[in-house]
Amino acid sequence: MLQIWYPTSLNVNQNFTLYLENTPELPNKLSKLFGYPGFIFSHFKYVETNAVKEAKINSTRNNYPVLIYHSGLFGSRKFNTFQIEQLVSKDILLQELTILEQLQ
């Protein structure tokens, strides 16, 4: 899976995405991986990010530096959202790769 993160123009009326959305099985997988009870991770589904789905790219620049990112073994593209948001805020276009077999 490839997800692209890019700088946008700020619009306060935008709906921000959730930190962990559409991943109901993730708290249980994390609890098994780290040895903690599943409820510890279950609140992540309520945490919003600074990202907006399908937002228009900021058109103040003609080109952006590109960084290709991979979350690593047992990683998820959602685990490091805070780092990705920081890079994108510095006008870096980021392409994030996730190997789906890692999360099964």
Do the beta carbons of residue 97 and residue 2 sit within 8 Å? yes
SS3 per residue for 8-50:
ECCCCCCCCCECCCCCCCHHHHHHHHHCCCCHHHHHHHHCECC
Domain containing residue 9: 2-103
Hey, what are 17's tokens?
């995405």
How many separate domains does the chain show?
A: 1
Condensed to tens digits (0 to 9), the pLDDT of residues 38-81 reads 788 788 778 888 888 888 888 888 888 998 887 776 666 667 78
pLDDT number for residue 44: 77
